[in-house]
Amino acid sequence: DTEVTQTPKHLVMGMTNKKSLKCEQHMGHRAMYWYKQKAKKPPELMFVYSYEKLSINESVPSRFSPECPNSSLLNLHLHALQPEDSALYLCASSHSLYGYTFGSGTRLTVV
């Protein structure tokens, strides 16, 4: 299995909703990432987990809450988002020999 799987593929949520994005990989990678990508822009790093511990938080607002329950799973919990948070959210994992593998993303729309 050489994939990173993200669910759901599309999500529409209201500003008062709570939702979660899910990411899964079974390649044995011990570093996992959340990136945010706005239209016509490059991906921007949000969080990095290394060996299931949060290693990097790029000053992301607290309405985004990451979680790494085990070495294969990465979640991003969303609460009280703003319309400007609408974007493509990409999950990735990495290995020193193979580089970074990205999922196909969750397209989030906040209404």
Partner 1 sequence: AQSVTQLDSQVPVFEEAPVELRCNYSSSVSVYLFWYVQYPNQGLQLLLKYLSGSTLVKGINGFEAEFNKSQTSFHLRKPSVHISDTAEYFCAVSDLPGTASKLTFGTGTRLQVTL
> At its nearest, how many Å lie between partner 1 and the CB of residue 50?
3
Query: For residue 40, how far is the Cα from the chain centroid?
Result: 19
12 is an interface residue for partner 1 by CB under 8 A: no
63 is an interface residue for partner 1 by CB under 8 A: no
62 is an interface residue for partner 1 by CB under 8 A: no
Query: Contact, 74 vs 91, CB < 8 A?
Result: yes
25 is an interface residue for partner 1 by CB under 8 A: no
Total residues interacting with partner 1, rule: CB under 8 A: 30
Burial class (CB in 10 A: 0-12, 13-18, 19+), 62: exposed
104 is an interface residue for partner 1 by CB under 8 A: yes
90 is an interface residue for partner 1 by CB under 8 A: yes
Q: For the chain, give percent helix, strand, coil, nearest 5.
A: 5, 60, 35
> At its nearest, how many Å lie between partner 1 and the CB of residue 93?
10
